[in-house]
A and B are shown apart, each in its own frame.
Chain A
Amino acid sequence: MSALQLFIVQRLTALIMAPLVLAHLAVMAYAIHGGLSVAEILGRTQGSWLWFGFYGLFVVAASSHAAIGLRAVLTEWVGFRGRLGGRLRDLGCAVFGLALFGLGARAVWAVTLANTATAGVGL
């Protein structure tokens, strides 16, 4: 990807995540303030395609955003530049982004749809 494309993706994912982060923080605040137990929270998220979409989008955006951010840090603070350094950096960041996506997808699955087949809980 070109520098411009990376810039655009970084800004777009940031714009996508801004409301998601606020909503996530609000949900957490509500849960803590309302004294909801983890079981109660899971009762609302599990089986919900809405929450799956919400956190699924969040994970996709966060993993690409983190990988691109890490790329800048590796370039400037660790000195991964030039032909070989640049390739190593880009490969490393791609692996990191995919790993973060994988872990995030697993978590989203666990929080939302994992038990749908057996439990059959609705929205």
Chain B
Amino acid sequence: MSGRLARSHPLWFAHILHRASGLGLALFLPLHFWVLARLLTDTKQVDGFLKLTDIWAFKFAEFGLVFLLAVHLFGGLRLMALELLPWSSPQKTWAAAALVGSGLVAIVFLVRAL
């Protein structure tokens, strides 16, 4: 059997969120770096870069990056608090707090970016 139902608890979801956001960042960062370097080293393209930041898709992509970063940061802080400080129990509270925290940050950014 798959053990599927053995996973339905907050720490498992926190883990999968951390891994998914980490993978997302690992795939997204090269693109982020490449775009920055390409558009900025070529001074003729800086104007193009300025226009690009107004494009909805670009904004959405950058929002995605910020969202992943926030999720991964709070998930990582949760993990290190869990592992490096000798907690005895309510780890679930931390997982929930991490979720709420990253969600809040992401919403704040979405609201400000729009």
Query: Chain A interface (Cβ within 8 Å of chain B)?
Result: 11, 14-15, 17-18, 21-22, 24-25, 28-29, 32-33, 37-39, 42, 59, 62, 66, 69-70, 73, 96, 99-100, 103-104, 106-107, 109-111, 114-115
Contact = CB atoms under 8 A, between A and B. Distances in A.
B41 A110 contact: yes
Contact of B37 (A14, A15, A73, A110): A110
A25 B26 contact: no
Given A21-B69, A28-B109, A59-B33, 7 more contacts: A14-B80, A25-B70, A28-B66, A69-B22, A100-B29, A104-B33, A109-B37
A18 B73 contact: yes
A118 to B, nearest CB: 10
Interface of B: 19, 22-23, 25-26, 29-30, 32-34, 36-37, 40-41, 43, 46, 49-50, 53, 66, 69-70, 73, 76-77, 80, 84, 105, 108-109, 112-113
Contacts, number: 83
Contacts of B80: 11, 14-15
> Which of B33, B80, B84, B113 counts the most A-chain CB atoms under 10 A from its CB?
B33
Nearest to B51: A38
Contacts of B53: 38
B26 A66 contact: yes
B36 A73 contact: no
> B interface, by DSSP: helix, strand, loop or mixed?
helix
B46 A104 contact: no
B30 A99 contact: yes
Contact of B109 (A14, A15, A29): A29
Nearest to B76: A14
Contact of A18 (B36, B77, B109): B77
A37 B73 contact: no
A93 to B, nearest CB: 10
A66 B50 contact: no
A114 B39 CA distance: 12
B25 A110 contact: no
